[in-house]
């Protein structure tokens, strides 16, 4: 029994060593003597990393707004235009579809220049998260927030304006500063009329 076991172990060692070293006859030799040539095993090929989307991780932005604050996970002072005195603009996004912990970024742009990127954890399949950007009074012009997933895909873009006007505008409405109530904007009918 021991002899059979030793024979099998010896056979395995020979096969193993034989598979590592390959012997071949030297080509182009002038002599008739056989020379042995050792061929090294191939070097491992380095594979490029592939971006593989996790199964079931299709994030969807179910809603996104900009405003002057967030209370109880709801945007306040929602508008498309803010006065230069606003100080801070908040972006609230409602994200669906995360089966596992992931992140999104709120990337803030002022006139196509990136001003900030805020990484935010998404911890459940239906999750609200927000960020804000402090606005200096001289930053008048067009702004946008791009909501970007962990793979760099832009999921939603929200645009807004910072103006010299002292009243925020919500799609055809102005917000009364004293009460915060939205009222229809009056359309200028004749020359020189102002929007109240």
Domains of the chain: 2-39 (no CATH), 60-183 (2.60.40.1930)
Nearest to 130 by CA among 74, 174, 191: 74
Look at 36 and 83; give whichever has higher pLDDT: 83
Distances in Å between the alpha carbon of 91 and those of 2, 60, 120, 147, 158?
Answer: 77, 16, 12, 10, 9
pLDDT single digits (tens) 97-153: 998 999 999 999 999 999 999 999 999 999 999 999 999 999 999 999 999 999 999
Instruction: Look at the alpha carbons of 175, 133, 99, 54 in this order and tell me if their dihedral is positive or negative.
Output: positive
Q: Does the predicted TM-score (pTM) go above 0.75?
A: no
pLDDT recorded at residue 168: 58
């Amino acid at each position: 029994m021991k002899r059979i076991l030793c024979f099998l172990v010896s056979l395995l060692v020979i096969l193993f060593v034989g598979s590592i070293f390959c012997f071949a006859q030297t080509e182009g030799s002038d002599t008739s003597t056989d020379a042995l040539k050792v061929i090294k095993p191939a070097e491992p090929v380095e594979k490029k990393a592939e971006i593989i989307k996790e199964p079931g991780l299709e994030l969807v932005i179910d809603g996104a707004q900009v405003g002057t604050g967030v209370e109880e996970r709801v945007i306040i002072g929602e508008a498309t235009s803010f006065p230069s005195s606003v100080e801070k603009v908040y972006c609230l996004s409602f994200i669906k579809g995360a089966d596992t912990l992931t992140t999104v970024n709120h990337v803030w742009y002022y006139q196509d220049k990136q001003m900030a990127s805020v990484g935010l954890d998404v911890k459940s399949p239906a999750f609200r998260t927000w960020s804000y950007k402090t606005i200096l009074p001289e930053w008048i012009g067009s702004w946008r927030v791009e909501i970007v997933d962990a793979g760099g895909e832009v999921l939603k873009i929200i645009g807004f304006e910072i103006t010299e006007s002292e009243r925020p505008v919500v799609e055809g409405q102005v917000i009364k500063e004293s009460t915060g109530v939205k009222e229809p904007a009056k359309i200028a009918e004749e020359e020189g009329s102002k929007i109240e």
